[in-house]
Chains A and B, each alone.
Chain A
Amino acid sequence: MNSNATPPAPASPAPPAPPRPPALPGAAASLELQPFDKPPGFLGVIEALLKQPGRILHECRHGGMKVPGMLLLGTTLCLAVFGFLVGTFSGGMQCWAAPLKIIGGMAAAMLICLPSLYIFSALGGMEARLAQVAGLLTTMVALTALLLLGFAPVVWVFSQSTESVVFMGFLTLVFWMISLVFGVRLLISAAARFGVTTANYVVAWVVIFFVVSLQMSTSLRPIVGTAETFLPAKKKFFMQHWLDEMDGADAKDRGSKQTGAAKH
């Protein structure tokens, strides 16, 4: 990710150089912290998230609860729609279980990672209260969720075409990673605006959030596919779970090929 957020060393002791804006494209380039012209509605906040995230960060910086509240509502709605369409792959109970698990998993990941973001951003030089850091995290997750909503029609097309749990799981994971990349870009450039002088700590936190999210998807399985119980009976690390799933798919393929050969 961007490591250019480090400000240049000042040539003389005073005055200190202001933090240099990160050299990031798109949303980051337009990340000017400025207030909304008028009190924003729900759609105004969602639009600002895409086009002028600086306005949302300004609200977070100044401790307003209305905009983060709208972002949380938007995140819940976006993840609910995305989860429902993922759930249509299996149908039945998964139509409500998948959105519930995705929303719950994301909320748990946020709660688990909020303290570390607070500390890591402070290590990076950010001067912010916990509420402001929570606002930053909410903004990042909201953008991720919004992009997942954008991918939802694509997920639906594939969910109606394949029966492979591994393929659907892989596809969902790829879309989640693409969305998270945009969320992380916003977080890193926002952190630079909030005074972070070195992005390394925030990047390290991103890795932690990434691993926690992946583990949540395993702890709350199945999100894609079906099972006899709502939550898994056996605890697993996510890497182990994925390897088991891929081995299962391979064995199934081999079995179907052997059956096909026997029929011929």
Chain B
Amino acid sequence: MGSEPPAMTSFSASRLMILARGETPSLMSWLGEASARGLLPLVCGIVCGCGVYGASIGLGRAPLMAVFVAVKMPLLIFLTLGVNGLINGMFGSLLGSGMSFRQTMQACLMSFAIFALIVGSLSPLVAGMVLERPDGDASDVTRWYRWFLLTNTAVIAFAGIVANHKLLRLIESYSGSRGAAWRTLIAWLAGNLFVGAQLSFNLRPFFGNPSLPVAFLRPNPFDGTFYESVWSMTLADLPAGAGFFAPQVVLLGSLAAWFAARVLGRIINHFSKH
């Protein structure tokens, strides 16, 4: 940080564009701002971007669903950050990001704001797909629904990858260490994915099952967890008798994940030294 960072404009849209371009000096200066003014553009970006995208998704089911999902998408992000705020801040300090709790929260908000900008910018595409939905033949509708889910999966994956790449660069610039940046990013990402999956399960429906009535939440939003649901679905798909081996498979999978994490850590350490 040799040169003086450029002055930050207070206009939200301009700041979001600075965020999208990833102008490191300006972003570092932004992270240093300890006022609500620094958070406002990010909150606005997330509410607008995810709101518009949520509305496009919900439109696939019904106009009322569009309103519901437009509210729930930003809510999901804020709840995830709220639940994980404390542990993310601790990991940030312990893993060498050099950020305070407030800066950790702001950096995560920046990442989600980039995500929101991308999905928001692609929401016309999703809305266009909804408007082009075939009616009549059930097989056509089923085919369209598969493409709709696949497109949204691709949109979310792309936005997630770009947002995390930008976050990695930001942490790297702040900490001055590539290894610390990777470790911090992986810890934050793991926590946010773990909690985000559960909260999205609590806040379902998002896409809206055509066979169920339109609703803001299911009648039993706190009945069960995402992971128990995945587990029971996996067991149900296994052939008879194979369920006996499921714990062993999970144990082996955990060991493989641990080994993969160790190898990944070594690779990161290797590259961070060069």
Chain A interface (Cβ < 8 Å from any Cβ of B): 25-27, 29-30, 50-51, 146-147, 149-154, 157-158, 160-162, 164, 167, 182, 246
Most buried by A among B86, B180, B195, B223: B86
Q: Measured between C-beta atoms, what is the minimum distance from A77 to chain B in Å?
A: 14
In the complex the two chains form, is B83's CB within 8 Å of A167's CB? Answer: no
In the complex the two chains form, is B222's CB within 8 Å of A161's CB? Answer: yes
In the complex the two chains form, is A157's CB within 8 Å of B199's CB? Answer: yes
Q: A26-B183, A154-B194 are in contact. Are A161 and B90 (CB under 8 A)?
A: no
Contacts of A157 in B (CB 8 A): 83, 195, 198-199, 202
For chain B, the count of residues having a C-beta within 8 Å of the partner chain is 30
In the complex the two chains form, is B180's CB within 8 Å of A25's CB? Answer: yes
In the complex the two chains form, is B93's CB within 8 Å of A167's CB? Answer: no
Contacts of B241 in A (CB 8 A): none
Q: Measured between C-beta atoms, what is the minimum distance from B242 to chain A in Å?
A: 14
- Of B53-61, B122-130, B224-232, the stretch lying at the interface with chain A is B224-232
Question: In terms of DSSP, what is the predominant structure of the interface of chain A?
Answer: helix
Q: A157-B199, A161-B223, A162-B228 are in contact. Are A150 and B89 (CB under 8 A)?
A: yes
In the complex the two chains form, is A160's CB within 8 Å of B227's CB? Answer: no
Chain B interface (Cβ < 8 Å from any Cβ of A): 82-87, 89-91, 93-96, 179-180, 183, 191, 194-195, 198-199, 201-202, 222-225, 227-228, 247
Provide the bound-state CA to CA distance between A160 and B224, in Å: 9
In the complex the two chains form, is A26's CB within 8 Å of B96's CB? Answer: yes
Contacts of B194 in A (CB 8 A): 154
A154: contacting residue among B87, B93, B96, CB under 8 A: B87
In the complex the two chains form, is B224's CB within 8 Å of A147's CB? Answer: no
Q: Can you name 22 A-B residue pairings with CB atoms under 8 Å?
A: A25-B95, A25-B96, A25-B179, A26-B96, A27-B93, A30-B96, A50-B90, A50-B93, A51-B93, A147-B87, A150-B91, A151-B87, A152-B86, A153-B84, A154-B83, A154-B194, A157-B83, A157-B195, A158-B198, A161-B202, A161-B223, A162-B228
Q: Residue on B with the closest CB to A150?
A: B87
In the complex the two chains form, is B95's CB within 8 Å of A26's CB? Answer: yes
In the complex the two chains form, is A182's CB within 8 Å of B83's CB? Answer: no
Q: Measured between C-beta atoms, what is the minimum distance from A25 to chain B in Å?
A: 6
Contacts of A160 in B (CB 8 A): 222
Contacts of B225 in A (CB 8 A): 158, 161-162, 167
Provide the bound-state CA to CA distance between A44 and B224, in Å: 40
Provide the bound-state CA to CA distance between A152 and B195, in Å: 12
Known: A30-B96, A152-B86. 16 other contacts (CB 8 A): A25-B96, A25-B183, A26-B96, A26-B180, A27-B96, A29-B96, A150-B87, A150-B89, A151-B87, A153-B82, A154-B191, A157-B198, A158-B198, A161-B198, A161-B222, A161-B223
Q: Residue on A with the closest CB to B246?
A: A250
A146: contacting residue among B90, B179, B180, B199, CB under 8 A: B90
Provide the bound-state CA to CA distance between A204 and B17, in Å: 53
Q: Residue on A with the closest CB to B95?
A: A26
Contacts of A161 in B (CB 8 A): 198, 201-202, 222-225
